[in-house]
């Protein structure tokens, strides 16, 4: 999560503005926010309510700014299966703020909503349900934390589906994926299809293209093979303001694990980027070099780690779209717990001021405590400044998060390092003064990185893991030593017979990270079925009875077929070549690919797919609520979709 | 789950009838159902949708019969943490059937709703929320499957809280429990307080007393000590029709584990009994010998075991209350999968017809298959008869559940038993003809019961467990050999230091059965805190420093105090004597206690508690929806509550 330096005020490039005056009846006002991570640290006695508090602030801002919709770019929830408390808090907040008599002026153009899961018994969007008084429409895609999981009777569902069923939000951006365990043959055939939610207010036409999080490897595969199809209306396709929502890595966390800024088609006007927690330029849209669109990265509304980027002041963005122009206004979030991150080297400190005593453990601790005290004061001052006009409404000042990242290499008298105390005992002096007394200080040594050896596993070796953890900051390491890594290495060392390791790894991840308790047994069932089909189709035992060697070979074949089917490596036409693994080293997956040839990768290779939309086009069941909707002709625009070209 | 014989048609006693003609404006129509167990067997490819299908039928019946409310007595969900699919299906069904323009005529009398968890941001009942068009009010207590769990920021919550927050139902019957881990001092002091939800339609006044499931042992303790207080309005207390909802064992499953029919006060008019799955007398209220009230036990709407009682045809009850009279009408559920249970002895069969050949495994299997075939035909005929008038709307006939319970003791030629085949292979012939091919037949031996030895544990011994399982029907045994039993026995054999075993057992149960992942760590934290308090308060080290023996004693004392606090054994005033264990042998907990001295146990020992209702009485926030409510004066009845005397 690297980021530009926090520059609360400066802008990196030209910013869009409306050329005409705002016409309220033609102007769509959107509040943009993302990564609210409701439920994060919910059992922490100090920070437990932070996530829901800020989400509530965002809802209040949406109302206060009289927006037409709140648009979220994923990870509304921190856990794939949010706790009952988190769900309850969210529902209570949504009921309080999204329901009400405010008129909604966004008309849904029919045949939209490929991305919106349709249930026969309710209208496409909640504010068209005549039994619910929706005053604030919310549209949200899913993120990587709250993506659809499971294979129940209703298919893969995510927590946002529950909020949709309750009538609180409009979840969109669920994608049919080729090669996914739950895909149908159609999706396998066609790749990733993104059809927009089409909305209109007065003369302004807004198309929302939601791409809920998918595995980065798959996203790359689909891009490389030009299998991402964006659809747009066949009539007046140029009249729409196209907003694309993604929830993928933007920063290169590892080889081939991010989507590049230039990846989107010329048709896009604004890309809303979720997932990355750094608030870029106060949530202001930034132009992309050589491309006609802007990208806005609002960042998370809560710090879920003590990383540098999370310390950038959190904002949301108020966007006004009129015709095909737009402008925006950043809004600082005021309920966010202050977080100050500081990084320094003791050797440097010493070099700059020799009078500072760092010659003993006690002296170092004393110095660090004075730094922390300064930061606490700074955090408190900033809070007071931000809230100085609150008056009687003022909330109690929140204990700040403080993180100092201290390089202790070098040392007094030619030692290789400074003497450090125990980071946790260090924090005891700051209980009740900071929100994170147990992990204020993080020590690291510059030299350590070079000494780092490649950790190899056969069976995960506890000692090695601990050693690796001890070597650097535990936090960063834990990030890397995810269960999934251990599982991959372990599985690779085994022979799983008919079970494809890649699919198995994914099932284990789903089981562990997403709480999908049936993930493994479901995979097992499917693989066995596929293997049997494959073997019975291909295997002809000789008259003398089956030879075991042949059967073994057939099992290998069946396994490969299953791996292809479930891995990312496959497309049915044999175009794919990926390996379905995170450490794939394909040439274009280099960490600093910035200008690649992918710029038209989202343009479709299929010129028109309108005829294929057979599953869609259900009749509108309920008219928009008369008292609250000012939209004019019902069902006036029947939009046939064709893919971008 | 023993039960009276299924007598679809006969009545055990006189049935209540309205003496006056029905006056629609004064008559409250209630559809009574319970134990819908949504999510039961949801991953079974054949039976997966049974629970939600029948719940949907019940919702449709409520609409079709134009009732004022649907009243549920617990276990709406099968799992404490229902799967996303189960929650989604339920929400979708509720959105489809409970929302709509039907007028609601039930006025809530203010200061009701002690049992209704209040959230400041919405009205007490969903149909008073002006932002939601509720056409069918649902009131439900929780059961033992879906009781409140956890200690999140919002306190213990249950799945019904999510449905309440969504605006779909009105959950009531959450109780403040003395001695529970989450209680407050007030509850500890006062015992169990049951305040009614007060509703009025025309002249008819309805008081709903919800007692959501609590542990049977605690229920008993509270009853014995007359700590169950029922409150009623201080004005015109005699004008109310009092309905009590319980979700406890009615049948004596073990010593002291059931509530007796006579336990309720004279003030009750109708007791709705959830939990027991047998549908008693077509869900018709039955008089209680020597008591002035009726009990109705609708039974579950789905068979969650293949026990005899589940084979009784499933009904719900349509109750009409007018003034203080009521009448009812049983309604057969038609979507329920047919289930036929038959029990016979091979020796008996042979004795009655010597021509039947049972002399070999093959011959026995052949005979049993013919019996099963007969039962399948019977089940199918019954389905066809029940659905003969469905016409074009007819649902496809469901595969039946068939269970034969076969006593194979005795045997040909003086053998001690008949030769039996493998019960699972037996079912292979019935795949696609019954819904439960794997467990159609259950073998048992009459003699076995006598030989049954008391199973004792130190550490749970796998062999013993298996032996016990093998001895009788696995299903019944599994019921008894619950995790909780193993845990109890195991914990008793350990020395847990400051941790009270009873509370620990409960925490483990909550962890395992209810999926409350914080149950154990929360208990630990609380116990450590209590122990420290107790030790620092009581322990005075001698001048020579603490003697370890004394400290040990103090820890014992602290542990006892904690055990008292968390166990059922306690009440603060030292009246209690229970042991907090399931096998408590108190004298009045005998399996066939029928006429005991508990009849006034629910009458309060406190003459008036009205003054104590300080937490209640919030102002109504939103007026009832004007378009859908015909209730007259808003907030007219301000009911002060006093306890029953």
Quick: pLDDT tens for B50-106: 999 999 999 999 999 999 999 999 999 999 999 999 999 999 999 999 999 999 999
Spatial strand order of the sheet with B192-194 comes to B192-194, B228-233, B641-643
Confidence of residue A265 (pLDDT cuts 50, 70, 90): confident
- d(CA A115, CA A108) in angstroms, rounded, equals 13
Residue ranges, comma separated, of all CATH 3.30.110.110 domains in chain B are: 339-388+396-434+436-484
- Residue B218: closest CA among B567, B562, B595, B526: B567
> Could A162 and B130 be called an inter-chain contact, meaning their C-beta atoms sit closer than 8 Å?
no
How distant is the Cα of A486 from the closest Cα of chain B, in angstroms?
24
Angle between helix A483-492 and helix A501-514 axes, rounded to 10 deg:
150
| A3-28 exposure pattern, b = at least 16 Cβ within 10 A, e = fewer | beebeeeeeeeeebeeeeeeeeeebb
Q: How many degrees, rounded to 5, is the angle at CA B21 between CA B19 and CA B23? A: 125
Taking residues B531-541, what's their average pLDDT?
Answer: 64
Query: What's residue A220's pLDDT?
Result: 80
- d(CA A434, CA A436) in angstroms, rounded, equals 6
Taking residues A41-66, what's their average pLDDT?
Answer: 96
Is pLDDT of B534 > 80? no
How distant is the Cα of B371 from the closest Cα of chain A, in angstroms?
34
Confidence of residue B567 (pLDDT cuts 50, 70, 90): very low
Nearest residue of chain A to residue B96 (CA atoms):
A121
Residue ranges, comma separated, of all CATH 3.60.21.10 domains in chain B are: 24-336+591-643
Is pLDDT of A628 > 60? no
Taking residues A504-525, what's their average pLDDT?
Answer: 72
Task: Give this prediction's pTM.
Answer: 0.79
Out of A85, A149, A158, closest to residue B150 by CB: A85
Is pLDDT of B574 > 50? no
Nearest residue of chain A to residue B82 (CA atoms):
A84
What DSSP character marks residue A145?
Answer: S
3-state SS class at B59? helix
> Could B84 and A152 be called an inter-chain contact, meaning their C-beta atoms sit closer than 8 Å?
yes
Nearest residue of chain B to residue A131 (CA atoms):
B133
In DSSP terms, which residues pair with A231 in a beta bridge?
Answer: A643
Joined tokens for residue B575 = 């009246």
Most B CBs within 10 A among A48, A53, A93, A152, hence the mutation to make, goes to A152
Phi and psi for A440 in degrees, rounded to 5?
-65, -45
> Could B152 and A92 be called an inter-chain contact, meaning their C-beta atoms sit closer than 8 Å?
no
Interface of A with B in 114-173 (CB under 8 A): 119, 121-122, 129-133, 135, 149-150, 152-154, 157-159, 161-162, 165-168
- d(CA A342, CA A96) in angstroms, rounded, equals 39
Taking residues B327-340, what's their average pLDDT?
Answer: 96
Out of B84, B122, B162, closest to residue A150 by CB: B84
Query: What's residue B203's pLDDT?
Result: 95
Confidence of residue A212 (pLDDT cuts 50, 70, 90): very high
> Could A88 and B165 be called an inter-chain contact, meaning their C-beta atoms sit closer than 8 Å?
yes
The active-site residue, picked from A145, A247, A315, A444, is A145
Query: What's residue B454's pLDDT?
Result: 40
Interface of A with B in 513-552 (CB under 8 A): 518
The β-bridge relationship of strands A204-211 and A197-201 is antiparallel
> Could B167 and A165 be called an inter-chain contact, meaning their C-beta atoms sit closer than 8 Å?
no
Taking residues A588-593, what's their average pLDDT?
Answer: 28
Instruction: Tell me the CATH number for domain A24-336+617-643.
Output: 3.60.21.10
Contact B197, B128 (CB under 8 A): no
Q: A-B interface: how many C-beta pairs under 8 angstroms?
A: 120
- d(CA B111, CA B639) in angstroms, rounded, equals 6
* Check whether domain A339-482 has CATH 3.30.110.110, yes or no: yes
- d(CA B182, CA B155) in angstroms, rounded, equals 8
Q: Spelled out in words, what is the top-level CATH class assigned to the domain B24-336+591-643?
A: alpha beta
* Check whether domain B339-388+396-434+436-484 has CATH 3.40.50.1100, yes or no: no
> Could B518 and A43 be called an inter-chain contact, meaning their C-beta atoms sit closer than 8 Å?
yes
- Residue A610: closest CA among A573, A638, A571, A572: A638
Percent of chain B at pLDDT exceeding 70:
66
Quick: pLDDT tens for A112-140: 455 566 666 788 899 999 999 999 999 99
Contact B523, B503 (CB under 8 A): yes
Contact B315, B281 (CB under 8 A): no
Query: What's residue A287's pLDDT?
Result: 92
Quick: pLDDT tens for B215-273: 887 788 787 788 888 888 888 889 999 999 999 999 886 666 788 898 888 899 999 99
Taking residues B6-21, what's their average pLDDT?
Answer: 58
Contact B171, B122 (CB under 8 A): no
Contact B140, B170 (CB under 8 A): yes
């Amino acid at each position: 999560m690297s980021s530009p330096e926090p520059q609360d005020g400066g802008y990196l490039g030209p910013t869009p503005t409306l050329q005409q005056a705002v016409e309220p009846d033609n102007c769509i006002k959107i509040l943009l926010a993302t990564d609210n991570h409701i439920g994060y640290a919910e059992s922490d006695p100090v920070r437990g309510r932070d996530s829901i508090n800020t989400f509530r602030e965002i809802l209040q801002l949406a109302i206060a700014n009289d927006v037409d919709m709140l648009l979220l770019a994923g990870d509304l929830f921190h856990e794939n299966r949010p706790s009952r408390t988190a769900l309850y808090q969210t529902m209570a907040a949504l009921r309080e703020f999204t329901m009400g008599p405010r008129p909604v002026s966004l008309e849904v153009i029919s045949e939209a909503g490929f991305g919106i899961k349709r249930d026969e018994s309710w209208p496409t969007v909640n504010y068209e349900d005549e039994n619910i008084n929706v005053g604030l429409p919310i549209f949200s895609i899913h993120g990587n934390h709250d993506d659809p999981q499971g294979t129940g009777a209703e298919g893969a569902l995510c927590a946002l589906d529950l909020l949709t069923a309750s009538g609180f939000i409009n979840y969109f951006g669920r994608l049919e994926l080729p090669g996914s365990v739950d895909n149908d043959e159609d999706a396998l055939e066609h790749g990733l299809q993104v059809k927009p939610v089409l909305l209109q207010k007065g003369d302004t036409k807004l198309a929302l293209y939601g791409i809920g999080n998918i595995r980065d490897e798959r996203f790359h595969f689909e891009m490389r093979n030009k299998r991402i199809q964006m659809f747009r209306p066949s009539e007046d396709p140029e009249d729409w303001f196209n907003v694309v929502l993604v929830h993928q890595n933007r920063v290169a966390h590892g080889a081939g694990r991010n989507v590049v800024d230039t990846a989107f088609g010329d048709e896009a006007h604004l890309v809303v980027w979720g997932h990355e927690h750094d608030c870029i330029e106060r949530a202001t849209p930034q132009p992309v070099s050589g491309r006609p669109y802007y990208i806005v990265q609002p960042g998370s509304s809560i710090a879920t780690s003590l990383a540098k980027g999370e310390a950038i002041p959190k904002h949301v963005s108020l966007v006004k779209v009129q015709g095909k122009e737009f402008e925006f206004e950043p809004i600082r979030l005021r309920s966010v717990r202050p977080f100050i991150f500081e990084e320094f080297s003791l050797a440097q400190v010493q070099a700059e001021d020799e009078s500072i005593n760092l010659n003993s453990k006690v002296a170092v601790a004393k110095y660090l405590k004075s730094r922390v005290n300064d930061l606490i004061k700074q955090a408190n001052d900033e809070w007071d400044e931000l809230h100085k006009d609150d008056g009687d409404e003022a909330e109690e000042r929140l204990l700040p998060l403080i993180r100092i990242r201290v390089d202790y290499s070098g040392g007094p008298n030619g030692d290789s390092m400074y003497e450090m105390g125990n980071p946790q005992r260090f924090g005891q002096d700051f209980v009740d003064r900071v929100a994170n007394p147990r992990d204020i200080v993080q020590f690291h040594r510059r030299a350590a990185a070079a000494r780092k050896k490649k950790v190899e596993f056969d069976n995960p070796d506890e000692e090695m893991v601990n050693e690796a953890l001890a070597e650097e900051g535990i936090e960063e390491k834990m990030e890397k030593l995810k269960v999934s890594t251990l599982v991959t290495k372990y599985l690779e060392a085994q022979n799983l017979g008919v079970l494809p390791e890649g699919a198995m790894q994914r099932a284990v991840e789903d089981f562990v990270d997403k709480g999908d308790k049936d993930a493994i047994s479901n995979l097992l069932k499917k693989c066995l079925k596929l293997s049997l089909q494959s073997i019975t189709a291909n295997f002809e035992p000789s008259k003398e009875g089956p030879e075991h060697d042949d059967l073994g070979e057939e099992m290998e074949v069946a396994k490969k077929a299953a791996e292809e089917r479930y891995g990312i490596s496959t497309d049915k036409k044999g175009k794919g070549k990926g390996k379905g693994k995170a450490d794939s080293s394909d040439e274009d997956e280099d960490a600093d690919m910035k200008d690649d040839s992918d710029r038209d990768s989202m343009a479709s290779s299929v010129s028109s797919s309108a005829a294929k939309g057979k599953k869609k086009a259900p009749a509108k069941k309920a008219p928009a609520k008369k008292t609250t909707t000012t939209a004019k002709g019902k069902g006036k625009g029947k939009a046939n979709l064709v893919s971008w070209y």
